Copies of this chain bind each other. A is one copy, B any other.
Amino acid sequence: MNLLNEIMSRHPNAISFAPGAPNPRLSTSLNLSYYIDVYLKYLQTTHGLSEGESQRVLKEYGPSRGLINGLVKRALRTDHGLDVPERGIIITVGAQEALFLVLRVLFASEADTLAVITPCYVGVLGAARLLDIPIIGLREESEGIHFGDLSEAIEILRAQGRRIRALYVAPDFANPSGTVMSLASRRRLLEIAEAEGLIILEDIAYGFTATPGFEFPLLKVLDRSCSVVMIGTFAKVCLPGARVGFAVADQVVELERGRALLLAEMLASAKSMISVNTSPISQAIVAGMLLENDVSIATLGIEGSKLYQENLTYLLALLDQELSGVTGVSWTKPKGGFFVRMGLPIRADRDLLEHCASTFGVLWTPMADFYLDNTGDREIRLSCSYLTTEQIQIGVERLGLFVRSI
């Protein structure tokens, strides 16, 4: 990340396919105080708070579990028919804090291993490493996960007296691969999770970019054994600057002396020692946006979904036009998400990126860091989310010159 920022800052005129950030067009003109007022009025009319009391909610500390859990609950029911108890939801400082909290609380023993499908979102690998959690990589297949790798990993760990405690998966347009897990794979994965007692961490960050009507049900929706902890974010659908995400963690955890808590409540307890609570101001902005969009994350994400579909379609069409037939160069053709993954005939390392930036004026993300071994050394990630169509056009022309030069 720092490496990319540093190279980008030295090449301000390069077109950068590197940032996986949401498009600024979606957020720049948002009127923040308008949405805050919507939420304050909601607190006043629906929860009976006075003007002063609602201002206090906004400006004081708040509960570690969050303020807007009830609205997220409603949105998940509206969007996915998912019915989870409000107590099973925690509001976090982005999806990243949700991931970090879940890893911290779930992984209690050194025998607990995190399984990931590679290539894997670097935020998961980084959080696990920060917590000294061992990671095992499974290969990806066109339908999502290589089940042979999963079985093998379970057996190998079992023989060592260890286990997969949780498996991280982004079933819809994973970052960076763009892969969608098939319905059959979703069902099979849930069966294995139930049989093995492992937790599935389902990251739904890019699900909203699907063409309407062509989505698969969430793992959490298909889940009958409460094996899934779901992680979501408002950064991609509306406002990265708010830093608001959430986890659905309605697993019952037995404690000593017959007490039981939901996992989300244990996450809140851990959160009280990390960020104390998610800014009520940020939560108010997101809540106001939800209230103005039928309390639906899908509705809130419609404009973005269209934009990202258009950008992705445009990027794929241009790649076909400009790069087809170049020896050793291939790329994925995802149906949603922010990313296209491209294979090169040579090592895609820092030196190549530097050369590509200075000679051709175009940047991308080397994929080595998304893997646990060197299988991704010749792959790059192209993100279409942050660019205008004009930038995509110039960028692909430059990419064409670059790949023909190597």
- A36 and B32 in contact (CB under 8 A), knowing A130-B273, A279-B243? yes
| A405 contacts B by Cβ under 8 Å | no
Contact of A226 with B by CB under 8 A: no
Given contacts A28-B59, A281-B32, contact A130 B274 (CB under 8 A): yes
Does the CB pair B27–A241 fall under 8 Å? no
A211 interface residue, CB < 8 Å from B?
Answer: no
Residue in chain B with minimal CB distance to A21: B61
Residues of A54-71 contacting chain B, CB below 8 A? 55-56, 58-63
Q: Interface size (A, Cβ < 8 Å)?
A: 53
Check: A85 CB closer than 8 A to any chain B CB: no
Grouping DSSP codes into helix (H, G, I), strand (E, B) and loop, the A interface class, with mixed when no group exceeds half, is: helix
Q: Cβ of A156 < 8 Å from any Cβ of B?
A: no
A177 at the B interface (CB under 8 A): no
- A251 contacts which chain B residues (CB < 8 A)? none
Identify which of residues 260-284 in chain A touch chain B, using a CB-to-CB cut-off of 8 Å: 269-270, 272-282
**Residue A317, interface by CB 8 Å:** no
A388 at interface, CB cutoff 8 A: no
Q: Is the CB of B59 within 8 A of A243?
A: no
Residues of B within 8 A of A58 (CB): 32, 241
A328 within 8 A of B: no
Give the oligomeric copy count.
2
Q: Which residues of B contact A100 (CB under 8 A)?
A: 273-274
CB atoms of A59 and B270 under 8 A apart: no
Cα–Cα distance between A274 and B270 once the two chains are bound (Å): 13
Q: Is A279's CB under 8 angstroms from B279's CB?
A: yes
Smallest CB-CB separation from A282: which chain B residue?
A: B279
The CA-CA distance from A104 to B274 in the complex, in Å, is 11
- The residue on B at minimum CB distance from A97 is B275
Residue A126 lies at the interface, judged by CB distance under 8 Å to chain B = yes
> Contact at B30–A33, with CB atoms within 8 Å?
no
Bound complex: CA A336 to CA B93 (Å): 33
* Interface 1/0 per residue, A288-307 and B, CB below 8 Å: 00000000000000000000
Q: Quick check: is A242 within 8 A (CB to CB) of the other chain?
A: yes
Minimal Cβ-Cβ distance residue in B for A105: B130
Further pairs besides A96-B275, A243-B278: 14, Cβ < 8 Å: A2-B269, A27-B60, A28-B59, A32-B33, A33-B36, A58-B241, A61-B240, A93-B93, A93-B276, A96-B276, A243-B275, A274-B275, A279-B279, A281-B281
Q: List 8 A-B contacts (CB under 8 A).
A: A59-B239, A61-B241, A94-B276, A123-B276, A127-B274, A241-B281, A243-B276, A274-B274
